[in-house]
Structure 1
Amino acid sequence: MFILRLPLALCLNFAIAVGVAGPADSQISEQPIKVGVITDMNGPLASATGRGSVEAARMAAEEFGFSISGRPIEILSADHQNKPDIGAAIVRRWFDVEHVNVAADIANSAVGFAIVELARTRNKIVLVGAGSSDFTGKACAPTSIHWTWDTYSSATGSVKAVFGPGADKWFFISSDFAFGHALERDGIAAVEKLGGGAVGHIRAPFGTADFSSFLLQAQQSNASVIAFGTGGADTVNILKQAAEFHLAKPGVRVMPLQLMIDEVKAIGLELGQGNFALMAFHYERSPEAKAWSLRFFDRVRAMPTAIQAGTYSAVRHYLQAVKDSGTDESVAVVAKMRATPVNDMFATGGYLREDGRMVHDMYLTQIKAPAESTGPWDLVKIIRTVRGEDVFRPLADSECPLIKR
Structure 2
Amino acid sequence: MPASLRGLAALVSLLVCASATASFSDDEIRIGVLTDLSGVSAGDAGQLSIIAAEVAADRFGGEINGTPIRIIGMDHGSDSDQALKAARELVEEHNVDMITDLVRSNTAVPVQRYATEQGVIVMPTGGGASSLHGEHCSPLAFHWGFDSFALANAVVSAVVDQGGESWFFVTADYAFGQAIESAATGLVRQAGGEVAGAARYAYKTTDLTEPLTEARRSQADVIGLASGGEDTQKAIRQGYELGLMDGERRFAALLMFITDVRDLGLYVAEGLQLATPYYWDRDEASRELALEVQARSGAMPTMIHAGTFSATLNYLRAAASAGTDEPGPVARTLDDMDIEDAFSRNGYVREDGLMVHDFFLMEAKSPLDSRTAWDYYEEVTAIPGEAIHAAPDGSCEQR
Q: Name the TM-score class by shorter chain.
A: 0.7 to 0.9
- The TM-score with structure 1 as length reference comes to 0.83
Instruction: Select which of 168, 171, 175 maps to 1:170.
Output: 168
Distance 1:27 1:294 in 2: 34
Alignment size in residue pairs: 372
* Change in CA separation of 1:169 and 1:230 when aligned onto 2, cut-off 3 Å: closer
Deviation per residue, 1:108-161 (Å, 9 max, x gap): 111111111112321221111112233223332221111122211111111123
Q: How does 1:179-190 map to 2 (within 5 A)?
A: 179-190=176-187
The range that moved more, 385-394 or 246-255, is: 246-255
Q: In structure 2, what residue type is equivalent to 1:311? A: T
Quote the residue 1:38 is aligned against.
34
- The TM-score with structure 2 as length reference comes to 0.85
Instruction: Select which of 91, 109, 112 maps to 2:87.
Output: 91
Distance 1:54 1:166 in 2: 38
Q: 1:181: how far off?
A: 4.7
Distance 1:363 1:352 in 2: 19
Are the aligned partners of 2:145 and 2:304 in contact in 1 as well (CA < 8 Å)? yes
Are the aligned partners of 1:36 and 1:94 in contact in 2 as well (CA < 8 Å)? yes
Quote the residue 2:98 is aligned against.
102
Answering whether residue 117 of structure 2 is matched by residue 118 of structure 1, we say no
Q: Unmatched 5+ residue regions in structure 2?
A: 1-21
Quote the residue 1:17 is aligned against.
none
* Change in CA separation of 1:175 and 1:308 when aligned onto 2, cut-off 3 Å: farther
The range that moved more, 194-203 or 103-112, is: 194-203
Q: 1:232: how far off?
A: 3.0
Are the aligned partners of 2:138 and 2:398 in contact in 1 as well (CA < 8 Å)? yes
Answering whether residue 207 of structure 2 is matched by residue 212 of structure 1, we say yes
Deviation per residue, 1:208-241 (Å, 9 max, x gap): 3x4315x523533654243223333333233223
Distance 2:61 2:365 in 1: 39
SS at match of 1:337: helix
Q: 1:37: how far off?
A: 0.8
SS at match of 2:329: helix
Instruction: Select which of 145, 155, 159 maps to 1:158.
Output: 155
Quote the residue 1:128 is aligned against.
124
Q: Unmatched 5+ residue regions in structure 1?
A: 1-25
Q: In structure 2, what residue type is equivalent to 1:212? A: D
Percent of residue pairs identical = 30
Q: In structure 2, what residue type is equivalent to 1:173? A: T
Q: 1:65: how far off?
A: 2.4
Distance 1:300 1:175 in 2: 35
Deviation per residue, 1:155-195 (Å, 9 max, x gap): 11111233388743432413635x54543332222123235
Q: 1:357: how far off?
A: 1.2
Q: 1:45: how far off?
A: 2.5
Larger Rg: 1
Distance 1:288 1:230 in 2: 30
Q: 1:248: how far off?
A: 4.6
Q: How does 1:3-402 map to 2 (within 5 A)?
A: 29-47=25-43, 49-129=45-125, 130-163=127-160, 167-174=165-172, 176-177=174-175, 179-195=176-192, 196-197=194-195, 199-200=197-198, 202=200, 204-205=202-203, 208=204, 210-213=205-208, 215-220=209-214, 222-223=217-218, 224=220, 225-248=222-245, 253-395=250-392, 397=393, 399-402=395-398
